[in-house]
Amino acid sequence: MCESPLVLCHQKSEQIWVDREFPMELSMKNEEVPTAADGTTENKVLDKQQDDEEAKMKKMTDAVRTLIECVGEDPSREGLVKTPLRMAKALQFFTKGYHENLETIVGGAVFEENHEDMVIVRDIDLFSLCEHHMIPFYGKVHIGYIPNKKVLGLSKLARVSEMFSRRLQIQERLTQQIGNAIMDVLQPQGVGVVVEATHMCMCMRGAQKPGSSTITSCMVGVFRDDVKTRQEFLQLIHSKKLFS
Q: Closest CB to Zn ion among 130 and 222?
A: 130
Instruction: Check 189, 196, 199, 232 and give the catalytic one.
Output: 199
Residues that bind Zn ion (CB under 5 A): 130, 132-133, 201
**Closest approach of Zn ion to the CB of residue 218, in Å:** 20
Radius of gyration of the chain (CA): 21
Q: Shortest approach of Zn ion to residue 210 CB, angstroms?
A: 14
Catalytic residue among 14, 113, 131, 172: 131
Indicate if 131 belongs to the active site: yes
130 noted as active-site residue:
yes
Residue number of the CB atom closest to Zn ion? 201
Q: What are phi and psi of 12, to 5 degrees?
A: -110, 130
Work out how close the CB of 164 gets to Zn ion at its nearest, in angstroms, rounded to a whole number. 17
Residue 199 known to be catalytic: yes
Query: Active-site residue 70, yes or no?
Result: no
Which residue's CB is nearer to Zn ion, number 87 or number 201? Answer: 201
Residue-wise over 106-131: b if at least 16 C-beta within 10 A, else e? Answer: beebeeeeeeeebbbbbbbbbebbbe
Residue 133 is a catalytic residue:
yes
| Cβ–Cβ under 8 Å, residues 236 and 194 | no
Q: Nearest approach, Cβ of 185 to Zn ion (angstroms)?
A: 29
112 DSSP β-pair partners: 150
Q: Taking every pair of C-alpha atoms in the chain, what is the biggest distance, in angstroms?
A: 63
Q: CB nearer to Zn ion: give 198 or 229.
A: 198
Which lies closer to Zn ion via its Cβ, residue 61 or residue 177?
Answer: 177
Least Å distance, CB 206 to Zn ion, is: 8
Catalytic choice (130, 177, 196, 218): 130
Kindly tell me which of 91 and 236 has the beta carbon lying closer to Zn ion.
91
Q: Catalytic amino acids? A: 130-133, 171, 199, 201
